Every structure is written in C-alpha cells, then in structure tokens.
Amino acid sequence: MLKSALLALSLTASSFALTVSASAETPAATTAPAPVDPVRLKLAEQTVAKLIPPGTYQKIMKDMMDTMAGGIVDQMMGMDAATMAGMAGEDVGSEAAAAVKGKTMAEILAEADPNFKERMDITMKVMFTEMGDLMSAIEPTVREALAKIYARKYSAKELADMNSFFATPSGAAFAGNFMATFTDKEMMDASFGMMPKIMEAMPAIMKKVQAATAHLPPPPKPEDELLDEAAADAATEIEASKPFAAETGEEPWYIEDNWTSANRIKVRKLSDTYIKASEKSEAVAVKYDEAQSVAIDEARQRFLAQGWKPEPAPEPIAAEDIPDNAVPPPAAPK
C-alpha cells in the first residue's frame, strides 16, 4: 500500500514537471542545433526575460508547495486504499486488498507510521524549499537555452511583436504570470485528475513493457537483495539438515546451563549482536542459528552418550479408576 501512495505522489510530481517542461519548451533534439542569428537571439532574450523573470522558479516551487498542502495531497490521502491498490495493478481479490477495503490511504499509512502526516508535511516543506533554491540557481541556464530556442522558432518580426505586446500593461501581466499559471490550483487539480486514469492504465502498460523487453536477460539484482537470498538459502539448508526434527525443545541439551562454557559465551555474545542487527542483516541471524545449533548438538551428544532417556509418558487413567469427586476437565472451546 505504501508503494501505491508513493506511486501516486510520483505521478502528481511528474504531471507538474511535464507541464512546466512543456511551458518552457525544453529542447529534446538529438542532433546538433542550428546556428542562432545574433539579431533574433537579442530579441529572444528580451522575450524570455519577460516570461521568466528572476525568482520565477522560486515562486513556482512555493506556489506548488502551497497548492499541494492546500488540498491535493489530502485528496489523494482520502482515496480508498483498495481502489488505489487495484489501480496500481494489485489483485483486488487478494487478502491484502481485502484487509484495507473501506480504509483510506491516510488511515493505512497512519497505522504503519503514526507520525506519517507530520513526517510528510515536513518532507514536502524541506523538499520544495531546497528545490526552489536549486531551480533558482539554474534559472539563467534555462533563460539562455529558451532564448536560443525562440531565436530559431520565431522570426525577428514575430519576436519584436511579442516584445511590443509584453511592453504593454496587458502583455506584461500575461508574461509575468505565464509560468506561474501552471502551478495554479485549477491546473494542479486537472493534472491530479489524470492520475486515476494513468494508474488504471499502468498494468496494461507494464505488460507491454515486459513483452517489449522479453528478449533481454533479467536485470542484475542489487547486492543487498542477493545477500538476503543467500542468507535465506543458508538458513533453509541448516533447517533441512537437522536430523532431530522430532525433538520437542524440552530436552536438557536445549538448556544453556548444560552447554559448554565456550559455547554459552559465544551464543550469548552473538545473541546481543543478533538483537541489535537482525533487522539489518540476515547473515547475523544465520550465524546466530549456526552457533546455537552447534551448542545444542554438542550437549545432545554428551547427554545421549551418558545414557539420557526422556521420562516415560504417564499411563492414561482408566475410566473406572477416576474418583467420583474428581474435578472434570474443562470443556473444549466451541
């Protein structure tokens, strides 16, 4: 479910990024650009200066943060968790989907992390503030690139006409708000409204991606995932190799006091490490299990060599031997 929430947030951010990128007409050409006419470039620089004045991206990120905090994220968090899971391609009939049916994303995430809302608010504030500073630093580069694009796309007369319009009060108002328009609440609502359709289409899209890449070998697994698999395999092999599966755990060799001093110290030392690191490293858990198995096995061999045998089970009492005043056993639970 957390994956679905992160996917939704990513799609919202992606919609914003695509909108702003389209408004700035970022080049996507793979060939070398044609030379720029110096006269048209000068005119284009004036045009772009009106469309992206200094501080534009800082304002965009602030407006974006205010809009997101003002309802967009709340809308998403209020969506049905099971519905979002289905949109993300998860089986709506699965146990996991049934467990979250009727709950909102906010409720699911709050159950997993009671501080989720505060954590998310702080994260968004820090993220958008830092992104605002970063994007402000690249504003001159954006203006320079956009001026070259406009100088190639428009003639000197067209650029001069734009600059004449931007010099009027109406033109100045339009140019000054051109970029900020894309972070307006209505525009963000429209972008956010596309998300359910995108998520609904995502399973089919991913199937097409899998079909298109079927001829390729699977991507290499991350190192930590390989280590986890190796540790799990080792633990499985250890369990499978144990010849005393019928033991109850009540035998004397399971009692630490019956282990050798060296084994007891080793297991206790690894126990402390295991408690602290088991969540981070399955390898430690495997080593702990190995050490514990060695300690138990050595004690087992010693007790069996000494002739240890389990206490015989008591003979069942015949019905006629049960006293009349005996307390009856508790009834079986219904």
Cβ-contact 88, 202 below 8 angstroms: yes
Burial 209-232 (b: 16+ CB within 10 A, else e): eeeeeeeeeeeeeeeeeeeeeebe
Burial 275-303 (b: 16+ CB within 10 A, else e): eeeeeebbbbbbbbbebbeebbebbbeee
Query: Which residue is listed with tokens 């395999």?
Result: 233
Note the pLDDT of residue 203.
Answer: 80
What is the distance between the alpha carbons of residues 176 and 51, in angstroms, rounded to a whole number?
6
Beta carbons within 10 angstroms of residue 265's beta carbon:
11
Q: How far is CA 197 from CA 6, 7, 73, 193, 323, in A?
A: 16, 13, 17, 8, 75
- Stretch (H or E) spanning 158: helix 156-166
Q: How far is CA 18 from CA 23, 183, 203, in A?
A: 9, 12, 21
**pLDDT higher than 50, residue 11:** no
pLDDT tier at 21, thresholds 50, 70, 90: very low
Residue scoring higher pLDDT (143 or 199) = 143
**pLDDT higher than 60, residue 91:** no
Beta carbons within 10 angstroms of residue 319's beta carbon:
6
Among residues 13, 6, 4, which one has the least CA distance to residue 89?
A: 4
Rounded (to 5) percent helix, strand, coil in the chain? 70, 0, 30
- Stretch (H or E) spanning 269: helix 261-277
What is the distance between the alpha carbons of residues 272 and 106, in angstroms, rounded to a whole number?
37
Mean pLDDT, all residues of the chain: 74
Cβ-contact 252, 303 below 8 angstroms: yes
- Region class of 241: left (phi > 0), else alpha (psi between -120 and 50), else beta: alpha
Bridge partners (DSSP) of residue 80 are 104
What is the distance between the alpha carbons of residues 228 and 282, in angstroms, rounded to a whole number?
6
* pLDDT per position as a tens digit, 78-90: 666 666 655 555 5
Quote the DSSP letter at residue 279: T
Note the pLDDT of residue 13.
Answer: 45
pLDDT tier at 1, thresholds 50, 70, 90: very low
Q: What percent of the chain has pLDDT over 70?
A: 61
Predicted model pTM: 0.46
Note the pLDDT of residue 84.
Answer: 61
- Stretch (H or E) spanning 96: helix 95-100
* pLDDT per position as a tens digit, 275-310: 766 556 666 677 778 888 888 888 888 888 888 887
What is the distance between the alpha carbons of residues 52 and 177, in angstroms, rounded to a whole number?
9
- Stretch (H or E) spanning 48: helix 38-51
Please state which of the ranges 52-56, 162-166, 314-318 shows the lowest mean pLDDT: 314-318
CB-facing half-sphere around the CA of 116: CA atoms within 13 A? 16
pLDDT tier at 48, thresholds 50, 70, 90: very high
Note the pLDDT of residue 20.
Answer: 47
Note the pLDDT of residue 194.
Answer: 75
pLDDT tier at 9, thresholds 50, 70, 90: very low
Return the domain boundaries, the chain: 2-212, 223-305
